[in-house]
Amino acid sequence: MPPQHDYFAAYRSLKLTRDAHGVLIAEFHSNGGPFTFTAQDHTEFVDAFYRIAQDRANKVVIFTGAGGEFIPEIDFSSFGNVADPSVWSQVLDEGTQIVENIANIRVPLIAAVEGRAHVHSEYALLANVIVAAEDATFHDLPHFAGGVVPGDGIFTAWSYRAGSGRAEAFLLNPQPLTARTAHEWGVVAEVVPNGKALSRALELAESYLRAPEVTRRNTRVHFIQPLKERIVREVGYGLSLEGASAADLVKSKPLKN
């Protein structure tokens, strides 16, 4: 087995495993089960995705989730008083860096989606290829449905992958989107039987490894560049708008102690 770098065990909710060929699996989880996204994870993922991108021993990266889910839930309360400018400043800085750091992963990135991709589905859409199980669904629980602007990159990613009209309708009237519909929209590359998304992603990774390393790396760099440019232009501004809406939401619905 290749040596495990120090960052592999550094993150509470990201299980990192890499095989002898350099295929890194990054599995979102909470205590080994389906992942509930928290403020601590928001902080840790900045470093996690940076380290993954910087480690040239990673030849292909796969994002997936534990317990038959991708990212199904979020703990809003863990973020504290988002009406506090210092709190939101941290959210803005981290949120911008998270999506930029995923975009800076310079090897093919595959998302293997089972179950619910209902929180931060843009993480999956920053992959080159999404393999989704038949019963997988995409949703946006944290934003317009929860009373805040979808400004953290989810609109940027969905409008880039699906077109702005579909993205706006999806985010303004958030309902679960099936894997089949996402496939029809061109967002999902392949729909596979339930429980088979990761195994199919590993097959794709094996095929990508047949390409020379510089070709493999530079193809990802080339493909992600237009989306990366949009992320740099849009996400900081979007998160500023989201922060103002979050403060207004707190003002209208005071936090309970």
Alpha carbons 86 and 248: distance in angstroms, whole number = 16
DSSP run (H or E) holding 33: none
* Cβ atoms 37, 29 nearer than 8 A: no
Quick one: tokens of 256? 């309970």
Query: Which residues in 178-187 are b (16+ Cβ under 10 Å) and which e?
Result: bbebbeebeb
DSSP run (H or E) holding 37: strand 36-37
The residue among 30, 29, 18 whose CA lies nearest residue 58 is: 18
Q: Determine whether 69 is an active site residue.
A: no
Residue type at 131 in one-letter notation = V
Strands (E) located in 66-199: 73-74, 109-113, 116-117, 129-133, 137-138, 177-178, 190-192
- The catalytic position among 122, 168, 184, 190 is 122
Report, as residue numbers or ranges, the catalytic residues.
Answer: 122
